[in-house]
Amino acid sequence: MQKMIRNAKRAVFLAGVVLTLLPAALLNALEAQQAAPAQGRGGPAGGQAAAQGRGGRGPDQSLPLVQQAFKMTDARYLISFSRYCMLNGPNTANGKGSAAAPSQLFDNLYYVGRTDVGAWVLRTSDGLVLFDTLYTPEEAANIIEPGMRELGLDPAQIKLVVLTHNHNDHSGGMSYFRSKGVRVMVSEADWGALGGVPNPESVIRDGQVVTFGDTSITLLLIPGHTPGTIAAMFPVFDRGQRHMALLAGGIGPTGGVDQHRTAIASIARLSAVTRQAGVDVFVDPHEAIIDSAAWGYIMNPEGRKPNQNDLIVGADGFQRFTQMLSTCMEARVVMFQQNAATGAPQ
């Protein structure tokens, strides 16, 4: 029953996204068409200036990019698409969540956390690596640790905590693990907001590989969401079959044009590195970023079908996702610039 309600809620949400998006896209297309005759031989720039001279608002130059991004996406990425291809897209990373069922997603990868944000545990032959720590030390103690025990994982075996970035929904529980003497790693830029670098061992360097037993984790700096956001790449196994996963905690930019350009550059590089490594699995601590099919799969362990893992999106699928994201960000840069030119609020 709960599952049905959840599915129904999701369907309503997705329908809402589509209904919000389509009319806006249609309106934009109409607007562009109406403005087209005014362009004459002066080209789009002249046309825009002419249109703006008339009514203060030209054709939406971001529309071709939004359409291009839409073609790259599939239904499962609608949440990300709608969030990143609009200036004020829906944000489900809103702190309104409750404890989720802890669950195992791969032979060696587990989710423990809330329904809106979580932490991931990677099991190696030499202990556990925890990615992110929820909002508070209390959540670390009352959600992460009991969730791990429920999954048969001993919290005392955590060898390393990696924070994807310094926002408090990811870093708030850090002090809980530090007080137990667990090594915590954060990028140098993001340690600033967390009180400064405690020691050189705690700094994530770009391209750094940390190895525990049979598992190597590659850490990559992907600034944009924060100046020191990182992503982690590591192998995962689905009933013995090897895949390559990328875990990111903040892939979308915050802020204006500069941060968007920084994020676009980060994604271009991420795309190249992950293509070479054959990344075909994407995991994230937030529903807002990951696709809806995958998040439903994580949240709903009892609804899973045998021999199916919705987190495996394929190497091409993952590359299309990164291209969609970066095209949406290009579109938003254009939107920012148009708003600046017309004096509209940013």
When CB distances to Zn ion are compared, the closest residue is 167
Q: Kindly tell me which of 83 and 167 has the beta carbon lying closer to Zn ion.
A: 167
Q: Kindly tell me which of 212 and 295 has the beta carbon lying closer to Zn ion.
A: 295
Q: Kindly tell me which of 198 and 227 has the beta carbon lying closer to Zn ion.
A: 227
d(CA 98, CA 84): 25
Q: Kindly tell me which of 229 and 338 has the beta carbon lying closer to Zn ion.
A: 229
Q: How far is the CB of 70 from Zn ion (least distance, A)?
A: 25
| SS3 of residue 54 by DSSP | helix
- Where do runs of H (alpha helix) occur along 91-139? 137-139
Q: How far is the CB of 170 from Zn ion (least distance, A)?
A: 6
| SS3 of residue 33 by DSSP | helix
d(CA 190, CA 262): 15
Stretch that binds Zn ion, among 134-142, 164-172, 326-334, 336-344 (CB under 5 A): 164-172
Q: How many CA atoms lie within 13 A of 10 on its CB side?
A: 21
Given CA atoms 132, 138, 139, 142 in this order, what sign does their dihedral have? positive
| Number of residues counted as binding Zn ion (CB under 5 A) | 2
Per-residue CA distances from 181 to 212, 217, 250, 269, 302 (Å): 18, 21, 26, 34, 36
Q: Kindly tell me which of 147 and 250 has the beta carbon lying closer to Zn ion.
A: 250
Per-residue interface string for the shown chain with Zn ion, residues 110-149, x marking contact by CB under 5 A = ----------------------------------------
Per-residue CA distances from 109 to 100, 122, 204, 244, 290 (Å): 16, 5, 21, 12, 16
Q: What are phi and psi of 340, to 5 degrees?
A: -65, -40
- Told to check if 167 binds Zn ion by CB under 5 A, we report yes
Q: Kindly tell me which of 123 and 225 has the beta carbon lying closer to Zn ion.
A: 225
Q: How far is the CB of 172 from Zn ion (least distance, A)?
A: 11
Residues numbered 249 to 288 that lie near Zn ion (CB under 5 A) are 250
Q: What are phi and psi of 314, to 5 degrees?
A: 85, 150
Residues numbered 31 to 60 that lie near Zn ion (CB under 5 A) are none
Residues numbered 215 to 254 that lie near Zn ion (CB under 5 A) are 250
The tokens for 12 are: 């309503």
Q: How far is the CB of 246 from Zn ion (least distance, A)?
A: 17
Q: How far is the CB of 168 from Zn ion (least distance, A)?
A: 9
Stretch that binds Zn ion, among 117-125, 161-169, 238-246, 258-266 (CB under 5 A): 161-169
Q: How far is the CB of 167 from Zn ion (least distance, A)?
A: 3
Q: Kindly tell me which of 166 and 274 has the beta carbon lying closer to Zn ion.
A: 166
Q: How far is the CB of 250 from Zn ion (least distance, A)?
A: 4
CB contact at 8 A, 52 and 38: no
- Told to check if 10 binds Zn ion by CB under 5 A, we report no
The tokens for 85 are: 């291809």
Q: How far is the CB of 95 from Zn ion (least distance, A)?
A: 11
Other C-beta atoms closer than 10 Å to the C-beta of 273 total 17
Stretch that binds Zn ion, among 4-12, 31-39, 163-171, 308-316 (CB under 5 A): 163-171
228 Cβ contact list (under 8 Å, min separation 6):
165, 166, 186, 187, 188, 189, 190, 191, 204, 221
d(CA 29, CA 78): 20
Q: Kindly tell me which of 135 and 318 has the beta carbon lying closer to Zn ion.
A: 135
Q: Kindly tell me which of 40 and 255 has the beta carbon lying closer to Zn ion.
A: 255
User: What residue ranges bind Zn ion (CB under 5 A)?
Assistant: 167, 250
